[in-house]
């Protein structure tokens, strides 16, 4: 077929890289009630109705992503900012202020930042809540984690993800670069990203929080990490863990973030594609029949 007169497309722009999904963020919390107030009432997210419904753990659904909140006396705090996209940002603006009294004495805080809402959970995890539009087609989910890292580390972390995880890595998007930030974006699937930004500010010690990712090439990263003694857990046939982000040239660990690395054969793999997500606008007084779910699972998130 003669394609000389066909339209020209940037085919590389459509490459997803090896990390296909950031499925959940795992944060230990000491008790469930403040988490119910913050995540379910405040952010309007959904407690998973099927899995971990006791007080030992709570899974919170956000589109095709989750927060895993196991109960532990020592809470964990992500060393950065967790972005959340919701289709109901005005509802978040309206409901977070109602929590002030009930979450008094905790780290809870919130601020209307114009087109986003900043919120701090009762244990200090920081969230930036967006309306749809900033992160591709995502209307509900966890599109972005941003980690300040020691100055100079971001470039090494970019090389680590590109070399070891075989991810697509790019400089920060123009808006961030204009703000003077040096850093990298690690592409996850088509609508998620891990951002690492150089900073001179002090960084808290790593406390063991983790993210779960699905990768297409499962054994390649494992071999590289295992050869260097960097695999921290051989969980089962479908999962392993590591937490050191190392400069691939020197082997120096420049930052820590535990990764739960899963293959596409993992028993949980397809589940996140059809998580239950409720319509948080529903109320007894203004009930809309047939609108309990925010959207049908096959519309994607």
Q: Which is nearer to Fe ion, 198 or 260 (CB)?
A: 260
Q: Are 59 and 66 in contact (CB under 8 A)?
A: yes
Q: What are phi and psi of 166, to 5 degrees?
A: 60, 40
Q: How far is the CB of 222 from Fe ion (least distance, A)?
A: 17
Q: Which is nearer to Fe ion, 185 or 260 (CB)?
A: 260
Q: Which is nearer to Fe ion, 154 or 231 (CB)?
A: 231
- The 3-state DSSP class for residue 155 equals helix
| Block residue for tokens 């899963």 | 262
Q: Site residues (CB under 5 A) for Fe ion?
A: 26, 212, 260
Task: Name the H helices within 148-249.
Answer: 153-163, 174-178, 219-227
Name residues whose C-beta falls within 8 Å of residue 278's C-beta, 6 or more positions apart in sequence.
Answer: 46, 292, 293, 294
DSSP state of 292: S
Residues 250, 23: Cα–Cα separation, whole Å? 30
Q: What are phi and psi of 33, to 5 degrees?
A: -55, -50
Residues 194, 202: Cα–Cα separation, whole Å? 20
Q: Which is nearer to Fe ion, 74 or 151 (CB)?
A: 74
Q: Which two structure tokens, joined as six digits, stand for 145? A: 């984690």
Q: What are phi and psi of 79, to 5 degrees?
A: -90, 55
State the CB neighbour count (10 A cutoff) for residue 11: 7
Compute CA distances 120 → 78, 80, 251, 262, 295, whole Å: 11, 11, 35, 29, 27
Q: How far is the CB of 173 from Fe ion (least distance, A)?
A: 28
Q: Are 78 and 126 in contact (CB under 8 A)?
A: yes
Q: How far is the CB of 262 from Fe ion (least distance, A)?
A: 9
Q: Which is nearer to Fe ion, 71 or 163 (CB)?
A: 71
Q: Which is nearer to Fe ion, 102 or 271 (CB)?
A: 271
Q: Which is nearer to Fe ion, 24 or 195 (CB)?
A: 24
Q: Which is nearer to Fe ion, 217 or 233 (CB)?
A: 233
Q: Are 297 and 274 in contact (CB under 8 A)?
A: yes
């Amino acid at each position: 077929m003669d394609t000389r007169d066909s339209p020209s497309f940037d085919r590389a722009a459509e490459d997803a890289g090896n990390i296909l999904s950031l499925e959940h963020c795992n944060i230990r919390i000491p008790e469930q009630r403040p988490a119910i107030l913050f995540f379910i009432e405040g952010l309007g997210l959904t407690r998973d109705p099927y899995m971990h419904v006791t007080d030992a753990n709570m899974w919170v659904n956000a589109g095709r992503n989750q927060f895993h909140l196991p109960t532990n006396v020592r809470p964990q705090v992500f060393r950065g900012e967790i972005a959340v996209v919701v289709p109901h940002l005005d509802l978040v603006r309206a409901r977070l202020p109602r929590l002030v009294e009930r979450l008094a004495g905790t780290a809870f805080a919130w601020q209307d930042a114009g087109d986003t809402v900043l919120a701090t959970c009762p244990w200090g995890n920081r969230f930036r809540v967006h309306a749809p539009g900033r992160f591709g087609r995502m209307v509900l989910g966890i599109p972005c984690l941003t980690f300040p890292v020691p100055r100079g580390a971001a470039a090494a972390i970019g090389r680590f993800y590109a070399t070891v995880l075989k991810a697509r890595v790019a400089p920060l998007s123009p808006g961030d670069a204009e703000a003077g930030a040096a850093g990298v974006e690690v592409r996850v699937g088509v609508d998620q990203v891990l951002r690492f930004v150089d900073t001179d500010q002090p960084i808290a010690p790593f406390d063991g929080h983790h993210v779960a990712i699905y990768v297409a090439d499962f054994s390649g990263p494992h071999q590289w990490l295992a050869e260097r003694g960097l695999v921290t857990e051989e969980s089962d046939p479908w999962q392993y863990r590591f937490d050191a982000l190392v400069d691939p040239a020197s082997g120096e660990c420049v930052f820590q973030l535990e990764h739960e690395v899963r293959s596409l054969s993992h028993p949980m793999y397809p589940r996140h594609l059809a998580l239950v997500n409720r319509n948080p606008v529903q109320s007894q007084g203004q009930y809309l029949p047939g609108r309990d779910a925010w959207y049908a699972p096959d519309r994607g998130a």
